[in-house]
Structure 1
Amino acid sequence: MINSQIPVNRSIVYVISDSVGETAELVVKAAISQFDEDKTMIQRIPYVGDIGTVDEVIALAKENHGMIAFTVVLPEVKTHLVEQAKLHNIPSHDILSPMVAMMEKKLQCPPKNESGLIHMLDEDYFKKVEAIEFAVKYDDGRDPRGILRADVVLVGVSRTSKTPLSQYLAHKRLKVANVPLVPEVEPPEELFSINSDKVIGLTISPVKLNGIRTERLKALGLKEEANYAKIQRIEDELVYSAGVMKRIGCEVIDVSTKAVEETANLIFQIVQRKEKE
């Protein structure tokens, strides 16, 4: 419903868009700020996809001596709007087209002429942020409830790259929880109640893990002789984790010779494959 009541002594700018119209409104507000803002008001008309609505706005703009600013990419609607505004001597400004035309010339390819694409990008961005926040919240098994909400659950012994993998996959919009497997700690029961297709086990060679853990101890200023980095302890942990993964029935990836990016891409491919099965 378009408001036709305009306060006395105020000009109005009708902001028309075939999407939400936020972009056009922000530009108009920036322009208005250069003048006496009390003399001008804005009315946004979003999701305009037909010439009937355009005609209604044109009639109001003519009646109220208003102006029109628009970000309309649908060719037939934009053409009709431009023609009618010119016919009725209504000041109008196409906010989007000059920029699109410049880019079309520079990139040597035609625009998509699809409305709402910027909000599709925004939605994609927020999905990524949500996935990153999820990975942080449910890192290192700190809250088993995350297992039930995750797209992917990574399990493995300490230093098998669970945390960096979770963050990397979050940038691919996957919600990832990770759970460390330690012989002295019973795995959360949620691991055995979810679909095993959602779980990825990470394993590694004892020698490789020994080197990683030894370097980790050095970085922390601790003695290399700590039980954490001993081969026997590592082998015991790996045998235990293999048993847990077998109970879950999950797919297992050996990360001994793989970079984080390589492992993450492999996990992403596994997820996509299982979604199609």
Structure 2
Amino acid sequence: MSKTFHLHLVSDATGETVHGLARACVSQFEDVDPVEHTWSMVRTRTQVERVIAGIEANPGVVLFTLVDETLRGLLQGACRRLQVPTIPILDPIIGAFASYLGRRSRGQPGRQHALDAEYFHRIDAMTYALVHDDGQGLWNLDAADVVLTGVSRTSKTPTAMYLANRGIKAANVPIVPGVPPPDELFTTTHPLVVGLTKDPESLVQIRRQRLRMIQDHEGGDYVDLEAVRQEIAFVRRMCAEHRWPVIDVTRRSIEETAATIMQLLARRQGMASAAGPQ
């Protein structure tokens, strides 16, 4: 029987940091079901008081990233009164940086979301991924950092979008049975081309779910196990012929697949730097 508990995620910015860390921690426990209460953009006393009222109504663990000392003190004092645990998740990291660098932190909310050059670089990468999704925009495929290729339902689009959110320009080119892959996939020279594959049985199940969602009761070769095996074998042969790395995404999350691609990209860029100008 799973244990249900209230989990309050309090942030003075968008809440992405505290939400991601909370998910990572909760995933380490079996049979727990957190009821998440997300409180984002908390930057005034009135907003903190609303958070406290919410915690009082549903007591539970409180994770927060507030950097303003007055607001932190208000929240922590109330939580002590309510006898609920509060965890300032950034404190150990900021403290370690401050000690190592010999400097105080700014204590300014939302600095990671400042409109700097890195922010606009990510937006540019997101735009590129959208324009070059599902084989579109082949005319400037060479502008990509990474090109993902593979058969249908191997998570090419979400992986490309995740990479784009990290500032990496990613295009994806699907391999469709009976349709020759586009020439641009083979003539591009700048991007790292990565093939994505999946276990045939798992892929068939996912495709059948997809067909049910769109109320398509036919399917044909799209969900025929032998035909799917041939699709995957074709992609593997193609990647081997062009010496493109292949990632089996069967038991990988989008984040894990993206992390492997980023490692491959870093290794490739490192080798290019070591080689120097030609």
TM-score, normalising length: structure 2: 0.56
Q: For 1:136-175, what aligned pairs fall within 5 Å after superposition?
A: 136-175=130-169
Who wins on radius of gyration, i.e. which is larger?
Answer: 1
Give the match for residue 226 of structure 1: 220
Moved over 4 A (4+): 99-103, 106-109, 117-121
For structure 1, which segment, 238-247 or 122-131, has the greater mean C-alpha deviation from structure 2 after superposition?
Answer: 238-247
Distance 1:222 1:142 in 2: 25
Distance 1:216 1:150 in 2: 29
Residues 245-276 of structure 1 show CA distances to partners (whole Å, capped at 9, x for unaligned) of 12322011111111111111111111111111
Aligned: 1:208 with 2:195 = no
| Cα distance, 1:133 vs structure 2 | 0.6
SS in 2 for 1:155: strand
Distance 2:233 2:190 in 1: 20
SS in 1 for 2:168: coil
Residues 80-131 of structure 1 show CA distances to partners (whole Å, capped at 9, x for unaligned) of xxxxxxxxxxxxxxxxxxx99999xx97753589xxx999851111111110
Aligned: 1:246 with 2:240 = yes
| Cα distance, 1:196 vs structure 2 | 8.1
Letter in 1 for 2:264: I
Q: Of 255, 259, 266, which aligns to 2:253?
A: 259
Residues 43-89 of structure 1 show CA distances to partners (whole Å, capped at 9, x for unaligned) of xxxxxxxxxxxxxxxxxxxxxxxxxxxxxxxxxxxxxxxxxxxxxxx
CA-atom RMSD, angstroms? Answer: 2.9
Give the match for residue 48 of structure 1: none
Letter in 1 for 2:255: E
Letter in 2 for 1:221: Q
Aligned: 1:270 with 2:264 = yes
Residues 139-181 of structure 1 show CA distances to partners (whole Å, capped at 9, x for unaligned) of 0101212421100000000000000000000011000010001
| Cα distance, 1:201 vs structure 2 | 0.7
Q: For 1:44-59, what aligned pairs fall within 5 Å after superposition?
A: none
1:182, 1:241 within 8 Å by CA — same for their partners in 2? no
Q: Of 166, 183, 188, which aligns to 1:189?
A: 183
Distance 2:235 2:251 in 1: 19
TM-score, normalising length: structure 1: 0.56
Gaps of 5+ in 1: 1-98
| Cα distance, 1:236 vs structure 2 | 1.9
Gaps of 5+ in 2: 1-66, 72-90, 272-278
1:210, 1:231 within 8 Å by CA — same for their partners in 2? yes
